Amino acid sequence: MKTQPTSREPMSRRHLLKVGSTTAVAALAAGCDDFSSATKRNSVPAAVASKSKLRNVILCVSDGMSMGVPSMADDFSLLVCGRPTFWPAFMLRPGVTCGLMRTASASSMVTDSAAASSAWSTGQSVANGTLNVTPDGATYAPLAVGVGAIGKRVGLVTTDNICGATPGGFGAAVVSRHDYPSIARQYLGRVDLLLGGGREHFDPLGRKDGKNLIGQFREDGYAFFDQRSALMSAKPQDKVLGLFNEGTLPYTIDHLNDAELKRRIPSLREMTDYALRCLESAEEGFFMMIEGSRIDHAAHANDAAACLWDQLAFDDAARRAVEYALDRDDTLVILTTDHGNANPGLCGWGNKYNDSTERFKRLGAFTGSFTAIARDIKQRSSPESTAKVIQRYTGIELDETETRQVDLAVREGEPVADHNDQHRRWVGLLGQVLGNHTAVQWNGVSHTSDNVLVSAYGPYSEHFAGVHHLAHFNDLITKKWALSRASVK
């Protein structure tokens, strides 16, 4: 009897086909090609002297990434793609500093993305739900204002709505993080490059005030893209507005398994590559934020496969950012997150935990997010059809009790009963049920207060050793770039 490959050994194609159905695995294996060079250039040169001029800063944010996510993603990539991820190897290289960040906001020990982004952007602690507005009503200019004032260019790249909390914190100041129309308007002339979703907040048909922000951006000299093909063939531009979807961009697992989505919407790596080619011509340098937002969304949904595929997509984009900084002495690149979310982990299963690896492998056969699964379930009419939908997307056969609970939860929006309020949402129940088959478990469906991982390379990267609050990023950048941090109200 042949032995199973260990978690650190690449899987052969024959072995990979045992993970799930041929069709599902073929689609996912094709998706691995997007990460094909993820570890071919893991080498990072020796430490860059901090006496070097800090010209560029690239902040890479795996939104909502609990500490268990990168380690699970590394194992998942080995099992499904046959290669490790970039980030763990990056952390081991000379010149890379690793530390932890505290994330508490002004209103809670558990932050949201808006307060976390505000801390990065202005160095101020604000309440959850607000962007750069302090509890006493003071409004602080976002980082883009100070960066622009000294002649540097600003780029924001995300798989979220471009007006979402994380990018919004660097380009706008609003009382409510959901004031997307105001955030979109404040970007004009303040942020040089914007790539993501949220087209409706710039389109007159999607805005209550009827303003055509796309037209205004174009009048101000911005090149506009709404299709992947146009972005991929475009020459670098000084000003860019790229809006590739309404709302968020799709989960990577859905993107990889839908030909139309792949044709129409660029990956985070592709957007990152184009953004760097645009910004590198900035005479005075640039600030760039790259966000893999859907790791957070998948964690809220307890959707392990979606979370891991989006972490791989982020890892590939972050690798591109690090490649840009290689052999340079003027670029600081930071890989981190704004907060943890739901604390997923691969749990011990079976006698001596020997079932854990085999159960975890099952995630390789998943071909759709919980969003896609729920949409399909709601279009059908019986628990029997629900079981077939689950099996088609996951390769997992639920028993009668599991099927009945999932069917009721998805259709009604709530489980029959659960003493854990966090898991009363249908996604929590579905995550628990499928977690019994994949060995991935979650502590809830919301953000957590944990310290988060940070890795940095380039000038002043050594300042990220130890444990600091998120605002430490702004303290460092403000001092090194001599930015004003004064209140604007």
Q: What is the DSSP string of 407-435?
A: HHHHHHSS-S--S-GGGGSHHHHHHHHHH
As given in the structure block, the two tokens for residue 183 are 């955030």
Distance CA 154, CA 151 (A): 10
Give the model confidence (pLDDT) of 217-249 as tens digits: 999 999 999 999 999 999 999 999 999 999 999
- Across the range 7-35, mean pLDDT stands at 41
* DSSP letter string, 119-172: HHHHS----TT-BSB-TTS-BB--HHHHHHHTT-EEEEEEEEETTSHHHHHHH-
- State the distance between the two ends of the chain, measured CA to CA, in whole angstroms: 73
- 486 pLDDT band, cuts 50/70/90, is low
Which domains are assigned to the chain? 22-344+450-480 (3.40.720.10), 364-441 (no CATH)
Q: Partners of 242 in the beta sheet?
A: 195, 225
Q: Examine the pLDDT at 76 and tell me if it is beyond 90.
A: yes
168, 114 contact by CB (below 8 A): yes
Sign, Cα dihedral of 269, 271, 277, 281: negative
Nearest to 60, CA basis, from 271, 359, 241, 256: 271
Q: Which two tokens stand for residue 248?
A: 């968020």
Q: What is the pLDDT of residues 29-47, one digit of tens each?
A: 445 554 444 344 444 444 4
- What's the confidence (pLDDT) of residue 422? 80
Collect all residues with Cβ–Cβ distance below 8 Å to 10 and sequence separation of at least 6. Answer: 78, 82, 83
What are the tens digits of pLDDT across the range 280-334? 999 999 999 999 999 999 999 999 999 999 999 999 999 999 999 997 999 999 9
The β-bridge relationship of strands 56-62 and 331-336 is: parallel
Report helix, strand or coil for 447.
strand
- 94-128 confidence digits (pLDDT tens): 999 999 999 999 999 999 999 999 999 999 999 99
CA distance 149 to 263: 38
Mean pLDDT of 155-160: 98
Model pLDDT, residue 44: 44
pLDDT at 419: 67
Mean pLDDT of the chain, nearest integer: 89
- CA–CA dist 65, 363 (Å, integer): 18
Pairing relationship of beta strands 447-448 and 340-341 according to DSSP bridges? antiparallel
Q: CB of 349 within 8 A of CB of 355?
A: yes
Q: How far is CA 378 from CA 202, 302, 371, in A?
A: 31, 19, 11
CB 310 within 8 A of CB 294: yes
**Total residues belonging to the chain:** 489
Where are any strands of DSSP class E within 212-370? 223-225, 240-243, 286-292, 331-336, 340-341, 345-346
| Class of residue 113 by CB neighbours under 10 A (exposed 0-12, middle 13-18, buried 19+) | buried
Model pTM? Answer: 0.91
Q: What is the tens place of the pLDDT at every residue in 196-225? A: 999 999 999 999 999 999 999 999 999 999
**Tokens at residue 86, please?**
């970039």
d(CA 183, CA 188): 9
44: which residues sit within 8 A by CB, 6+ positions away? 90, 93, 94, 95, 96, 322, 326, 457
CB atoms within 10 A of CB 92: 10
Q: Do 99 and 85 meet the contact criterion of CB atoms below 8 Å apart? A: no
Confidence tier at 418 by pLDDT (50, 70, 90): low
% pLDDT > 90, the chain:
80
Strand partners, 154: 287
Dihedral (CA of 413, 160, 27, 229) sign: positive
